[in-house]
C-alpha cells in the first residue's frame, strides 16, 4: 500500500502482518526516517495492550523537534488552529471516512491535555460545536492523545483489537506526517516533505536494542555440545532450500529443561540471533490471565498469527510449565481450564508446524516432569535439551566470558576494571554449585561495591581483584 502525503511517498509494507505481529510484541515501523530540520527524528510504534474494555492496538508516534521548542502557537495549530489536523480531518469526515472520524476523537481528547499544558483551545460556540462533534464520535472506539514534553510531540491512538485494519495504520502515518508538517510551519510550503520516501515496515527494525548488545551463542560458557546442537539447528533454518531438496524436516519444536539460572532463556535468545530470526516471547501469565478472563481465543490467536510469519521467527514460551503445570492436578474448574489450555496448545502446535516451516517454537521449563506427559507425547517437541548446572570447567569459562565482556564494554583508556592475574580456574573451583545466573550475581555485587566506593571517594578505587571475586563467591555460597 502506498500513498503521497505533503510531497512524500509513503510505502506501507504488509500492514496485515505488522498488525498481527504487534499483538505479540511491539513493532517499530520507521527506523532512521529523516525529516527536514528542526524535526530531528520520528518513531512510529504499534503495540498491543489490555484495557478495561478489552485488548487494543496502540499506535504511538513520537516526533522529536530539535533545536528550539516548537511554539505554543504551532502546537495549538496542530490540534485546533486555523489549518489544524482537526479541520483537515473534519473535511474528510464530511466525505464519510470512518477511520479518520475516529482519529478526530483522539485529537479532541488531546484538547484536555493541551489545556493542562497551558495551551487553551479557542473559546466560543464554534469550539463548543467542535467539542460536541468530537465527543459524539467517542463511542466509535478510538482514543488518542497528543502531548508534548521535552521537545517530543507524542501522538497516541488506540483501536480495539477486533476492529483494527490496515486503514488505521495508514491513518496514523498520515496523522504523524501532518503533525510533522504542522511543526515545520507554513514557511515550509505546501509540500514540506517533497521528494522524501518513507518506508513503513517491520523489516527495517533493528533486532538489537541499542543499549544492550544481543546475546550470542559465543557468550554461553560451557554447554559445548548443546551450543553445537543449536548451531546445527540454525544452519538448517538458514538453508531452507537444502532442506526442501532432500525432503528433510528441520526441528521446529525445542524443549529446554533444567534448573533455574542455567541459561535457558539466554540460549533461546542466542539461538534466534544465530538463525537471524525474529524473536517473539510469549509471556505465559499473559496467556493465562486472558484465558481465565474468558478468552481462550488468545492462544489460538498467537498461533494463527504464527502461521502467517514469513520470515524465520523463534517463538519462546518461557517458563512454559506455568501454562500447563497444573494439568491433571485436580477436577476443579481452574484445573480444567488449564487442561484445556494444554490441549489447545498441542493442537495448535501441530497445525503450526504443518503450516509454517519458518517458525521454531522453543519452550523452557524448570520442571520437565510437569511438562512431559501433556506435551512431549504430542511429538511436536522433537528436540529435548537438558540444560544442567555448570561443572567446574564450565563455571571457569562462564567467569572468563563474563569478565571479558565487562572489560570490552566498560574499560577505556584510564579506566581498568579488573586487576591483572584473575585466575578463572580457581574461581570455577570455588564456585561449586553455582549457576551462570549466580556467577552473574557474584560479579554484580562486586561491581556495585566498587561503584559505591568510587562514588564516595571520587574515583579512588583499585580494580577488581581475585580476592574481591573470591569474597563475593564466598558470600553468595554462605558458610559451609
Q: Select the residue interacting with Mg ion from 262, 265, 325, 365 (CB under 5 A).
A: 265
Please list, in sequence order, all residues whose beta carbon lies within 8 angstroms of the beta carbon of residue 215, skipping any fewer than 6 positions away: 266, 269, 270, 273
Among Mg ion, ligand ADP, none, what binds residue 398 when CB lies within 5 to 8 Å by partner kind?
A: ligand ADP
The answer to whether 365 contacts Mg ion (rule: CB under 5 A) is: no
Give just the sign of the alpha carbon dihedral 255, 260, 262, 268.
positive
Q: Which range binds ligand ADP by CB under 6 A, 19-27, 112-120, 220-228, 407-415?
A: 220-228
121/401 with CB nearer ligand ADP: 401
The answer to whether 312 contacts ligand ADP (rule: CB under 6 A) is: no
Position closest to ligand ADP via CB: 436
54/260 with CB nearer ligand ADP: 260
Burial of 82 (0-12, 13-18, 19+ CB in 10 A): exposed
265/431 with CB nearer Mg ion: 265
The answer to whether 222 contacts ligand ADP (rule: CB under 6 A) is: yes
- Up-side HSE of residue 432: CA atoms within 13 Å toward CB? 4
The answer to whether 262 contacts Mg ion (rule: CB under 5 A) is: no
**Angstrom distances, CA of residue 177 to CA of 53, 61, 83, 170:** 29, 10, 14, 11
**Site mask for ligand ADP (CB under 6 A), range 365-404, x = bound:** -------------------------x-------x--x---
Q: Considering CB under 6 A, how many residues would be counted as binding ligand ADP?
A: 19
Position closest to Mg ion via CB: 265
Can you tell me whether residue 377 is helix, strand or coil? helix
Q: How far is the CB of 281 from ligand ADP (least distance, A)?
A: 12
CA atoms of 113 and 400, how far apart (whole Å): 52
Side by side, which strands form the sheet with 383-386?
A: 278-282, 313-317, 359-365, 253-257, 383-386
Q: How far apart, in Å, do the first and last CA atoms of the chain sit?
A: 67
- 43 forms beta bridges with 62
Contact in structure between 338 and 332 (CB atoms under 8 Å): no
Please list, in sequence order, all residues whose beta carbon lies within 8 angstroms of the beta carbon of residue 335, skipping any fewer than 6 positions away: 326, 327, 328, 329
Q: How far is the CB of 319 from ligand ADP (least distance, A)?
A: 8
Q: Select the residue interacting with ligand ADP from 92, 440, 445, 470 (CB under 6 A).
A: 440
Please list, in sequence order, all residues whose beta carbon lies within 8 angstroms of the beta carbon of residue 459, skipping any fewer than 6 positions away: none
108/428 with CB nearer ligand ADP: 428
The answer to whether 301 contacts Mg ion (rule: CB under 5 A) is: no
Q: Select the residue interacting with ligand ADP from 437, 461, 471, 476 (CB under 6 A).
A: 437
Q: Select the residue interacting with ligand ADP from 106, 263, 312, 428 (CB under 6 A).
A: 263
The answer to whether 223 contacts ligand ADP (rule: CB under 6 A) is: yes
Omega before residue 38 within 30° of 0, cis: yes
The answer to whether 266 contacts ligand ADP (rule: CB under 6 A) is: yes
181/402 with CB nearer ligand ADP: 402
The answer to whether 322 contacts Mg ion (rule: CB under 5 A) is: no
CA atoms of 75 and 85, how far apart (whole Å): 11
Q: Select the residue interacting with ligand ADP from 54, 122, 260, 276 (CB under 6 A).
A: 260
Name the residues that contact ligand ADP, by CB under 6 A. 219-223, 260-266, 364, 390, 398, 401, 436-437, 440
Binding site for Mg ion (CB under 5 A): 265
Amino acid at each position: 500500500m502506498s500513498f503521497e502525503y505533503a510531497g512524500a511517498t509513503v510505502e506501507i509494507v504488509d500492514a496485515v502482518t505488522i498488525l498481527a505481529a504487534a499483538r505479540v510484541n511491539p513493532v517499530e515501523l520507521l527506523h532512521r526516517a529523516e525529516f527536514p530540520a528542526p524535526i530531528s527524528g520520528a518513531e512510529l510504534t504499534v503495540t498491543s495492550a489490555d484495557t478495561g474494555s478489552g485488548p487494543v492496538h496502540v499506535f504511538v508516534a513520537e516526533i522529536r523537534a530539535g533545536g528550539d521548542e516548537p511554539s505554543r502557537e504551532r502546537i495549538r495549530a496542530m490540534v485546533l488552529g486555523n489549518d489544524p489536523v482537526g479541520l483537515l480531518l473534519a473535511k474528510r469526515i464530511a466525505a464519510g471516512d470512518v477511520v479518520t472520524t475516529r482519529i478526530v476523537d483522539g485529537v479532541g481528547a488531546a484538547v484536555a491535555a493541551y489545556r493542562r499544558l497551558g495551551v487553551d483551545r479557542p473559546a466560543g460556540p464554534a469550539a463548543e460545536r467542535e467539542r460536541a462533534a468530537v465527543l459524539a464520535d467517542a463511542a466509535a472506539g478510538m482514543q488518542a492523545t497528543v502531548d508534548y514534553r521535552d521537545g517530543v510531540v507524542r501522538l497516541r491512538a488506540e483501536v480495539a483489537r477486533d476492529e483494527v485494519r490496515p486503514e488505521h495504520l495508514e491513518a496514523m502515518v498520515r496523522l504523524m506526517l501532518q503533525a510533522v508538517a504542522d511543526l515545520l510551519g507554513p514557511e515550509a510550503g505546501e509540500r514540506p516533505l517533497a521528494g522524501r520516501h518513507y518506508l513503513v515496515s517491520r523489516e527495517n527494525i533493528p533486532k538489537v536494542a541499542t543499549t544492550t548488545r544481543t546475546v550470542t551463542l559465543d557468550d554461553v560458557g560451557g554447554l559445548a555440545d548443546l551450543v553445537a546442537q543449536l548451531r546445527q539447528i540454525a544452519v538448517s533454518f538458514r538453508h531452507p532450500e537444502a532442506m526442501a531438496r532432500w525432503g528433510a524436516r528441520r526441528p521446529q519444536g525445542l524443549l529446554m529443561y533444567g534448573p533455574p539460572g542455567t541459561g535457558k532463556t539466554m540460549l533461546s535468545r542466542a539461538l534466534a540471533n544465530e538463525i537471524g530470526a525474529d524473536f517473539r516471547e510469549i509471556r505465559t501469565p499473559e496467556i493465562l490471565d486472558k484465558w481465565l478472563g474468558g478468552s481462550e481465543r488468545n492462544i489460538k490467536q498467537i498461533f494463527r498469527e504464527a502461521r502467517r510469519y514469513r520470515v524465520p521467527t523463534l517463538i519462546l514460551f518461557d517458563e512454559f510449565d506455568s501454562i500447563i503445570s497444573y494439568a491433571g492436578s485436580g477436577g476443579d474448574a481452574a484445573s480444567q481450564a488449564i487442561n484445556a489450555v494444554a490441549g489447545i496448545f498441542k493442537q495448535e502446535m501441530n497445525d503450526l508446524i504443518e503450516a509454517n516451516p519458518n517458525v521454531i517454537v522453543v519452550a523452557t521449563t524448570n520442571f520437565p516432569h510437569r511438562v512431559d506427559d501433556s506435551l512431549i507425547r504430542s511429538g511436536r517437541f522433537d528436540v529435548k535439551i537438558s540444560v544442567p548446572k555448570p561443572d567446574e570447567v564450565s563455571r571457569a569459562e562462564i567467569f572468563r566470558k563474563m569478565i571479558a565482556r565487562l572489560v570490552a564494554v566498560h574499560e577505556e583508556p584510564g579506566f581498568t576494571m579488573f586487576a591483572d592475574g584473575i585466575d578463572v580456574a580457581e574461581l570455577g573451583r570455588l564456585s561449586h554449585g553455582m549457576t551462570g545466573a549466580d556467577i552473574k550475581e557474584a560479579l554484580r555485587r562486586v561491581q556495585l561495591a566498587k561503584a559505591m566506593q568510587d562514588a564516595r571517594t571520587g574515583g579512588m578505587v583499585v580494580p577488581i581483584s581475585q580476592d574481591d571475586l573470591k569474597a563475593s563467591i564466598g558470600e553468595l555460597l554462605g558458610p559451609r
